[in-house]
A and B are shown apart, each in its own frame.
Chain A
Amino acid sequence: RKEVEQDPGPFNVPEGATVAFNCTYSNSASQSFFWYRQDCRKEPKLLMSVYSSGNEDGRFTAQLNRASQYISLLIRDSKLSDSATYLCAVNTKSNYQLIWGAGTKLIIKP
């Protein structure tokens, strides 16, 4: 089993819809969780950190489920500009090593 797993997609979603995807992790001791966005042929950029209590930033909501060892990302009222690949990252026992999922590709259609 991979340490961090994501459904590669693509998720094809009509504009204005709500979409959610998960990221599972295997290390129960992980403490830091992140969602990054990566546009085609560009570098990853931080979308959100994921806190234990869950957090929201505009149309984006991130949640952590420690019991089942996954994090989730919910996008409401999706825009064409949300089309991208969404990467999750989880820390390991080392303070300097993140383990990355392979990403979920999201395509928003007009």
Chain B
Amino acid sequence: NAGVTQTPKFQVLKTGQSMTLQCAQDMNHNSMYWYRQDPGMGLRLIYYSASEGTTDKGEVPNGYNVSRLNKREFSLRLESAAPSQTSVYFCAISQAGTTDTQYFGPGTRLTVL
């Protein structure tokens, strides 16, 4: 039972390149989230998906797009990477909203040069 998996674990991009971060869960939870974590700042929500078929913007959505492919998978795309997007990206899941525990994936460390 892997819980929440993320790929890749590390990535280095050049400014302007694109990439997709993948997240998959085997806990059958309804809600999925993408966060970024920067030094000295709290986790910031980029996008979330309350349930399969829906996605919504979080606090910092600019420069990102998401796809909820099915109940298990939620991907985050950077269309044209910028150095300001250098961060650690976490995918998280919960059964239903903020009253429930969020379970996190191991994270993706992204550097944009």
Q: Which A residues lie at the B interface, using CB under 8 A? A: 4, 8, 31-32, 34, 42-46, 49, 87, 89, 91-92, 94-103
Contacts and interface: CB of A to CB of B under 8 A. Distances in A.
Contacts of B50: 95-96
Contacts of A49: 101
B40 interface: yes
A97 B101 contact: no
B43 A32 contact: no
Given A96-B31, A96-B56, A97-B58, A46 B43 contact: no
A34 B41 CA distance: 17
Interface stretch (B11-19, B74-82, B104-112): B104-112
B42 interface: yes
29 contacts: A32-B99, A34-B101, A42-B107, A43-B90, A43-B106, A43-B107, A44-B90, A44-B104, A45-B104, A49-B101, A87-B42, A87-B43, A89-B43, A89-B102, A91-B99, A94-B98, A95-B50, A95-B98, A96-B31, A96-B33, A96-B56, A96-B97, A97-B45, A97-B59, A98-B98, A99-B42, A100-B43, A102-B40, A102-B41
A8 B98 contact: no
A50 B72 CA distance: 29
Nearest to B57: A97
B51 to A, nearest CB: 10
Contacts of B58: 97
B98 A97 contact: yes
A21 B87 CA distance: 27
A96 B50 CA distance: 7
A100 to B, nearest CB: 3
Contacts of A101: 42
A100 B105 contact: no
Contact of A103 (B42, B56, B99): B42
Nearest to B40: A102
Nearest to A97: B45
Nearest to B4: A43
Chain B CB within 10 A, most for which of A42, A45, A92, A96: A96
A96 B99 contact: no
